[in-house]
Structure 1
């Protein structure tokens, strides 16, 4: 049986038991109330008859029965009691409901009445068990007779039975409402537990808890329209740098707050310390969305390696292009020599060599970081292929990449130069200028280009979440640069005047 079914069954048993006990207690209390009310009523009737002057006068007369029987019977019928008996102190009845019992002794207790007390009792008399009151009749201070009035228990039971339909109807209506409430609760519980039995829920929880602690991916689960996460595992807290305790959407990195109720597949997100691959699925039950399941994988090291690989690949492409151009120039020189154009051949062969060697000499003399020199030389050739003039500023001078490592320097400069080349590649008279130098306060880097630049809003968006205007890019360049700069407590900003540029300062 499902958990909802078990709860409903238990509630139903409890409700029926409570209603049955309630009805029994109500009937019992009603019977007690009727007994008390009857005792008061018969006492009042008996006292009223005993205190009537006509009663004492009739007892003194020669035939008390003739005078008292009509009066007591009229009072009995009006008061709806079963008997009113007037008797002599020796128990001899003067009146009775059944006339054949007149003159016979009264059955019941009279000693307390003969002592001057008015009392009530339950006694199995000649008409059956009854509640009766007995009181003395005084004449000149003497007890000359006794009066007893009573109602049989059967009459009281009839009065209670007449009220039973109302009691049972009220109890049935209450039970029906309670059962309807339990049915609604069962329906709600059935929907919330998806019709699972307690054993299934326990097994599901145990497996759920085991899986959460065993997987190496971050997991964050949000219910629909909920601002607080229903589930956050340890790996998610580590990767997203989340605090202990309940997690709200505002605690997530900015880019993850905007995912909403949609499916996400292998989307790159960058935090201050990590590059993350994010997937999100919408959980549905019976066609309606219940919430979202967000998984996070750490790709920081892989992304760094891919960045370096991209730089090396770009350098290799440049070398292949140079080899191709060198082969063309070599064929040209050989042909000139064969044609006897010796002087022209020498001038043609040495012109490109002097320009390349001059650039190499200037870079190796100003920059003491071999990886950065190789990167810039490769980017120059790559820019030429794309129709962009890439220059290195005259004030570029760098003795060491500190506080960055050589790999980090390649990542920083390579991504910024690539972004600048992409921004101006399709524009006429495109150019990019690179400035790298070591200052007293730290490392200074400026990448200027002939493009329109980015506004503060676009630049901030590009830094916080892999933004790109190119459909074939994931837009992680600036996000990776921001992560690297933030790691060393540096600053990263863009300017559009007097020209488009990105500036980086990293303190020592």
Structure 2
């Protein structure tokens, strides 16, 4: 078995198809030879029997047998044997004694002595019959018929007509040679077909050997089960060919039930994979609602030449992607805050050090007091209005970044954000406020230049947390009010932009919050509403899965 596996696919197919052809042709040929042999025996036997009955019914033969006239019967039997192409014709009397025989020395002797068979069925019972035996003339097929008197009552003698079986053997030999030639030709044709089929088959499997395909299949299964993304594949008829465990868990499908081989519509009704199968157009980063969860799906058609043979869909829950985005955003915000604070305090320290070196101690003390007074006022406001340390740290960092940019972040002194419900993570608040303030600072700097202001107001009075961020960035065109929250859309028109507001919008949707864009005297105002009580609204089920 190992030696067979070591051979190339083409060699294996030639051997397998060749052996199958030889075996099939050989079995069919053997059956045909046996059938032909039996058929020829029957034909020769029937011919011998017909000739024997015809001779036995001849009146002149009957009369000569009654007279025991061998002189008449011998030449007659020889003539009849030549005419019927029989090997011999032997005529005997009622006692089985030969009256005519091709060999004169055998006349007068009993047919049973040398003919090798019993003549009793014909002589005693008047029956015609066939016999294959070796007699004085060798192996032959014999037809024996009784000779009756003119009334058909009394047996007068017997006629034995024999045909040699040499012709049968010769015919079988010729057929066997033909059969061997056919087997050899069939093997050659099978080898050619095997070569063509192997080449075509290997082209279809990219030149791989069966063992390589087996290893690749095992690797594929292990890879599919190890990735964190859900993966589903369907064939051209819409039946599932591959689905990994992550997909089963993410889609909430029963794990004990087999899904491979089932129609995709039966597993995931109204799946958009069928649209891709029909159109051949891939779909990327499509948001799909699955119950209470939202997943991000990619769907790519599989092609073999110009034909679409299936579709592969990979997806991950949106909350995982959003969590990664939020973490990256928070890290960026913390880095910006630290960099701004470091840069700002380095500048202040350099200025104070310079004033001290030139002896302007009063100015140095005044600068220190001014800086301390401004920060103390901000810190006091944050301590009273925003006791949450995460949110306070974010606002303090944005304040320092605004100063570094030459802008002023003004926080409404009437702001109050003491009650943060447990269902609203502080990290989500940081992401929302941080992105809005970053956008406002950049828009103000681009439109107003240094000296511009950004205003922030917060309140937790009532049933909602309300945040207002107002900039001096010149505003947003009314036609862009809806598009500004789409991924990749930015009023700055730069590549790599347009993700902050999209992320804010996604977090607010998860928290059942809303965001509104309003015009302000010098720019735009973003108003965020976050309900304190988390209520799961009814969501439409029309979205597609997979």
Residues 1:91 and 2:96 are matched in the alignment = yes
Distance 2:414 2:49 in 1: 123
- Map of 1:285 onto structure 2: none
- Map of 2:3 onto structure 1: none
Choose the corresponding residue for 1:28, options 24, 28, 34.
34
Choose the corresponding residue for 1:38, options 23, 33, 44.
44
Choose the corresponding residue for 1:135, options 137, 140, 145.
145
1:449-502 CA-to-partner distances (Å, cap 9, x unmatched) read 723475767845559xxxx974456x764565466456x553567768997858
Distance 2:222 2:461 in 1: 54
Could you tell me how far 1:119 is from its partner in structure 2? 1.0
1:86-145 CA-to-partner distances (Å, cap 9, x unmatched) read 332233445555677666653243111111111111111233211111111222122223
Distance 1:226 1:413 in 2: 49
1:234-273 CA-to-partner distances (Å, cap 9, x unmatched) read 6x5599678556688x99999xx9xx999xxxx9x99999
Distance 2:346 2:288 in 1: 39
Residues 1:113 and 2:113 are matched in the alignment = no
- Map of 2:307 onto structure 1: none
In structure 2, the residue corresponding to 1:146 is in which secondary structure? strand
The answer on whether the counterparts of 1:275 and 1:300 sit within 8 Å (CA) in structure 2 is no
- Map of 2:336 onto structure 1: 314
Gaps of 5+ in 2: 1-5, 303-310, 535-546
Query: How well do the aligned residues superpose, as a CA RMSD in angstroms?
Result: 6.0
Q: How does 1:182-201 map to 2 (within 5 A)?
A: 182-184=194-196, 186-187=198-199, 192=205
- Map of 1:82 onto structure 2: 87
**When the two structures are superposed, what TM-score results if normalisation uses the length of structure 2?**
0.62
Q: How does 1:241-280 map to 2 (within 5 A)?
A: 244=255
The answer on whether the counterparts of 2:74 and 2:102 sit within 8 Å (CA) in structure 1 is no
In structure 2, the residue corresponding to 1:20 is in which secondary structure? helix
Residues 1:49 and 2:55 are matched in the alignment = yes
Distance 1:500 1:79 in 2: 123
1:359-394 CA-to-partner distances (Å, cap 9, x unmatched) read 777666554434324423543554576688866689
Distance 1:445 1:85 in 2: 130
The answer on whether the counterparts of 1:270 and 1:479 sit within 8 Å (CA) in structure 2 is no
**When the two structures are superposed, what TM-score results if normalisation uses the length of structure 1?**
0.65
- Map of 1:288 onto structure 2: none
* CA 136–319 in structure 1, closer or farther in 2 if over 3 Å, else same: same
Which is worse superposed, 416-425 or 306-315? 416-425
1:4-27 CA-to-partner distances (Å, cap 9, x unmatched) read 355654554454344334333321
* CA 384–155 in structure 1, closer or farther in 2 if over 3 Å, else same: same
In structure 1, the residue corresponding to 2:420 is in which secondary structure? coil
The answer on whether the counterparts of 2:232 and 2:247 sit within 8 Å (CA) in structure 1 is no
Q: How does 1:286-435 map to 2 (within 5 A)?
A: 304-320=326-342, 322-323=344-345, 366-379=385-398, 382=401, 397-402=416-421, 403-419=423-439, 426-427=446-447
* CA 366–293 in structure 1, closer or farther in 2 if over 3 Å, else same: closer
Could you tell me how far 1:316 is from its partner in structure 2? 2.9
Choose the corresponding residue for 2:165, options 137, 141, 153.
153
Residues 1:490 and 2:512 are matched in the alignment = yes
- Map of 2:539 onto structure 1: none
Choose the corresponding residue for 1:124, options 118, 134, 159.
134
* CA 97–412 in structure 1, closer or farther in 2 if over 3 Å, else same: farther
Q: How does 1:142-221 map to 2 (within 5 A)?
A: 142-184=154-196, 186-187=198-199, 192=205
In structure 2, the residue corresponding to 1:116 is in which secondary structure? coil
Could you tell me how far 1:312 is from its partner in structure 2? 2.0
Gaps of 5+ in 1: 283-290
In structure 2, the residue corresponding to 1:90 is in which secondary structure? coil
The answer on whether the counterparts of 1:46 and 1:134 sit within 8 Å (CA) in structure 2 is yes
**Number of matched pairs:** 469
Distance 1:195 1:364 in 2: 70
* CA 28–238 in structure 1, closer or farther in 2 if over 3 Å, else same: closer
